[in-house]
Structure 1
Amino acid sequence: MTGETHENRAIFRITGGARVDFLQNLVTNDVTRGGLMYGALLTPQGKFIADFFLLDEGDAFLIDTDAALAPALIQKLNMYKLRADVQIEETDLHALRGRGEAPEGAHPDPRHPELGWRLYSDTPGTPAETDWDALRVELGIPTAGEELTADTLILEAGFEQMSGVDFKKGCFVGQEVTARMKHKTQLRKGVVPVAVEGEAEPGTEILTEEGKPAGRLHTRAGDRALAYLRFDRAEGPLTAGDARVTWIR
């Protein structure tokens, strides 16, 4: 059984005796848990740089990220490693994904059970037949370049629900801001699924009935979309361009 190629991914291998401590001190998840993990690298101010999957291969880690984010991510990792015994090399591997029965060597997608499995292979898979955008819109899963940007605070993007952040592991870059959001404040904004009736393109501003800004529309799939909403303004009727928008809860 093969899977569908996840296009536009860059996969690197991280080796060296200091690799575990190096990653553990930087990324949002606990890299000692094993298997396939999801996480992110943040700025010291808690803002998003890149999200990725990490696979513990025993003597190395694979890091699988959006190809557009890879240059900034690898630049930051190289900056942080200094003289540590850590080597970062790009691979020729392909990221495959699918739903249903998983082939040997595949791992469950840690973000949500309905997202199926991922597999890293020397050979590409089949072209995508699954409408992955529609699936992640239904499940409320953000993606880089759409809902995840340089202004994103990861708790507003649902990283805790996607098992992408671990607050018990200790420090990581941006941990102070992220932990403060979790423990001292109630989220007032976030990425959520919405219903859309009418014409509205991604990027359209969402307004309240009184014309106040309430958020912005992002990935759309049919009559559903992901939107970044201000929760205190999302209770009543909302519009985006000529469309009516309803928060799905």
Structure 2
Amino acid sequence: MTHKFTQLQRSLIHITGPDRLSFLQGLITQDVEKLNPSQSLYSLLLTPQGRFLYDFFLIPANSSNSSFFLEIDTTVAPDLLKRLTLYKLRSEVTLELQSDLSVCAYWTHKEPIGNTTLFDNVIAYQDPRLEELGGRLIASTSESHAFLQNQGFEETSPEDYKSHLLEWGIPTSPYDMIPEKSIPLECGMEELHALSWTKGCYLGQELTARTHHQGLVRKRLIPGKLEGSETIPLNARLMYEGEEAGLLRSSEKGRALALLRLEFLEPSLSLKKPFQIRPPKEGVQESLEKDLPVTFIPFLPSWMKIPTS
């Protein structure tokens, strides 16, 4: 089996200062006290109403745990940095974009390099969401490529990595998790280790906890296979026996994620009946509406927990 890697469009914010942990602890969804030289974290920043804003990784920058990196999608890194700077107030913490480093993802069924391992000029860490996703590497571009090639990994495209994530039902932002709209528990964030139920308060904590304890989740991002096409337009509608059951999110190489109403998921799985697909509502005349020659066949990955009726 080929061991693959690809360079990602990710940015790193270097966080230092004596208040670096307490500063984030009151803002983000994961318990930063768990962060140590051998343990990286996956976490979120929410709106006060508990809606998704950003997802990111926290990675120790050195063996003394005196600073760490926040790894996030490059397109939203400046926005997050600006927001964190506003929250900083009198906290003794420094936030700085690290432009000289890049991030690669590597994956296969090969044993990962380690949870978080500090090599000379290279930081390798296991993806904290799910072991099957593989790992990530922080270094300069030339050093990361050389390091992974020496480990037996072959460079491939970002589209291959996207397909790998979809195979395991892993959402990405902003296409699957939509800022200021998505609810973390609808996106599998509990099972993917982005939430802590034991830490203190954080932005959006009250509504997130209420949704969790009262079982208020009625939709979920569900992976599936596309029959009849490799990709489908974002927000294409999923139909089940003539009723609208959800919306398609990401798709790549015949794999996809869809936000489905759970009342339609159970009969589809039990009867092995696929969802029909119609174009997105925008710009479609009602008289011209018809199903596309494509179907969506949902499946549940081993990590996903769906409430039973």
Consecutive aligned runs of 4 or more in structure 1 exceeding 4 Å deviation:
none
Partner of residue 46, structure 1? 50
SS at match of 2:187: coil
Cα distance 1:4–1:194, how it changes in 2: closer, same or farther (>3 A)?
closer
Q: From 98, 116, 127, give the equivalent of 2:106.
A: 98
The CA deviation at 1:8 is 1.3
Q: TM-score, normalised by structure 2?
A: 0.75
Does the alignment pair 1:229 with 2:247? no
The CA deviation at 1:3 is 7.9
Partner of residue 85, structure 2? 78
Q: Write the distance in 1 (CA, Å) between the matches of 2:254 and 2:139.
A: 35
Tell whether the 8 Å contact from 1:48 to 1:149 is kept in structure 2 after alignment: yes
The CA deviation at 1:26 is 0.5
Does the alignment pair 1:123 with 2:144? no
Tell whether the 8 Å contact from 2:250 to 2:256 is kept in structure 1 after alignment: yes
Partner of residue 111, structure 1? 129
Deviations 1:147-170 (A, max 9, x none): 011211111111111111111111
Q: Write the distance in 2 (CA, Å) between the matches of 1:88 and 1:152.
A: 27
The CA deviation at 1:218 is 1.8
Q: TM-score, normalised by structure 1?
A: 0.92
Deviations 1:59-84 (A, max 9, x none): 11200000111122112111111121
Tell whether the 8 Å contact from 1:140 to 1:192 is kept in structure 2 after alignment: yes
Q: Write the distance in 2 (CA, Å) between the matches of 1:74 and 1:197.
A: 41
- Between 182-191 and 115-124, report the one with greater CA deviation: 115-124
The CA deviation at 1:96 is 2.1
Does the alignment pair 1:163 with 2:193? yes
Deviations 1:197-248 (A, max 9, x none): 22461321112212x2211112223332111111113334521132222221
- Between 42-51 and 223-232, report the one with greater CA deviation: 223-232
Q: Write the distance in 2 (CA, Å) between the matches of 1:202 and 1:173.
A: 33
Tell whether the 8 Å contact from 1:5 to 1:94 is kept in structure 2 after alignment: no
Q: Write the distance in 2 (CA, Å) between the matches of 1:31 and 1:14.
A: 13
Tell whether the 8 Å contact from 1:46 to 1:175 is kept in structure 2 after alignment: yes
SS at match of 2:29: coil
Code of the residue aligned with 1:69 in structure 2: it is V
Higher percent of residues as helix:
2
Cα distance 1:6–1:174, how it changes in 2: closer, same or farther (>3 A)?
farther
The CA deviation at 1:186 is 4.1
Deviations 1:105-136 (A, max 9, x none): 31111011111111211334345357211211
Q: Which runs of 5+ in 1 are unaligned?
A: none
Does the alignment pair 1:217 with 2:254? no
Tell whether the 8 Å contact from 2:50 to 2:183 is kept in structure 1 after alignment: yes
Residue identity over aligned pairs, in percent, reads 34
Tell whether the 8 Å contact from 1:49 to 1:73 is kept in structure 2 after alignment: no
Tell whether the 8 Å contact from 1:49 to 1:72 is kept in structure 2 after alignment: no
Cα distance 1:224–1:13, how it changes in 2: closer, same or farther (>3 A)?
same
Code of the residue aligned with 1:148 in structure 2: it is M
Q: Write the distance in 1 (CA, Å) between the matches of 2:167 and 2:174.
A: 18
Code of the residue aligned with 1:56 in structure 2: it is P
Larger Rg: 2
- Between 128-137 and 179-188, report the one with greater CA deviation: 128-137
SS at match of 2:184: coil
Tell whether the 8 Å contact from 2:6 to 2:161 is kept in structure 1 after alignment: no
Cα distance 1:98–1:182, how it changes in 2: closer, same or farther (>3 A)?
same
Q: Write the distance in 1 (CA, Å) between the matches of 2:202 and 2:162.
A: 30
Tell whether the 8 Å contact from 2:188 to 2:221 is kept in structure 1 after alignment: yes
Tell whether the 8 Å contact from 2:6 to 2:157 is kept in structure 1 after alignment: no
Q: Write the distance in 1 (CA, Å) between the matches of 2:253 and 2:48.
A: 38
